Amino acid sequence: MELALNLDQMTVADKLVAMERLWEDLGRTPEAVPSPSWHGEVLSAREKRVSEDKAAFAPLDEVKERIRKAIP
């Protein structure tokens, strides 16, 4: 199946809505979505940093605000 989207004619908001709908649909069957091997490596490294008390965390509200400011 070929899907054609006029990305150059879509607004950023339209593109974000499309991505959200795709992720929502993919999330219904996560077992069907392959995870690359490097994901496991990244998760292991992050878990190690947490266990060694070397991880830094930010409150969700702060992270959301940083994202909002980064989006034009």
Q: What's the rounded Cα separation, in Å, for the pair 69 and 6? A: 26
- The pLDDT value given to residue 56: 92
- The pLDDT value given to residue 3: 85
- The pLDDT value given to residue 71: 92
- Write the CA distances from 43 to 17, 23, 35, 39, 49, integer angstroms: 28, 20, 12, 6, 10
pLDDT by residue, tens only, the chain of 72 residues: 888 889 999 999 999 999 999 999 999 999 999 999 999 999 999 999 999 999 999 999 999 999 999 998
Q: What's the rounded Cα separation, in Å, for the pair 23 and 17? A: 10
